[in-house]
Structure 1
């Protein structure tokens, strides 16, 4: 009985620690979107303030594309940048940042420009 209680306490502490980290709640374009033209913006909304340290937009070949806007040292719930015109193809947004609790975080999402 005591071991079950101890296990439950450890499990709840671990789940709380996982939930404490910021994560991307939504993106523009949405992950996996197929869009007809260059998006007006690359946007990420986080569930807790995030200090974005790096954002890269790369094509299918791994070539980095220009993003205007950018990283800020102040924690924010939102990141917005404007991409340069994009040719049809697949793109991936890769980001890194620091959560409000100081943990390093990273993520990515992809979209495709069809024409």
Structure 2
């Protein structure tokens, strides 16, 4: 019985590591932050991610931005609003594909002050 438990332990550790998926570790602006300006949007992932969709919205309307293509996995995603963001509340939602093939998604919100 003890021998079975000892043999199963390494397998359970490996299974836990295999089940882990990439995730966003931080954003700029920070989620929930109030900022004076937003020269760039930035997401840091804990492992490379192909960001296949990203949308910046304010009151449900999409805001144009220049962004990376999403063709290559990146540990950091960058996008630049096409114009200066007016005061208001914004949200950036993204979807991607982790290196292990799992679809991932997330988002964050921030406010641009007057």
Which band: TM-score by shorter chain? 0.7 to 0.9
- Which residue does the alignment assign to 1:16? 17
Q: Which runs of 5+ in 1 are unaligned?
A: none
TM-score by length of 2: 0.83
For residues 1-115 of structure 1, what are the structure 2 equivalents within 5 Å?
15-19=16-20, 21-37=21-37, 39-59=38-58, 61-83=59-81, 84-115=83-114
Q: Any idea what SS the aligned residue of 2:50 has?
A: strand
Give the C-alpha shift of residue 85 in structure 1: 1.2
**Distance in 1, Cα, partners of 2:43 & 2:69:** 12
* Structure number with bigger Rg: 2
TM-score by length of 1: 0.83
Provide the alpha-carbon RMSD of the alignment: 2.2
**Distance in 2, Cα, partners of 1:35 & 1:109:** 14
**Distance in 2, Cα, partners of 1:92 & 1:14:** 35
Q: Which runs of 5+ in 2 are unaligned?
A: none
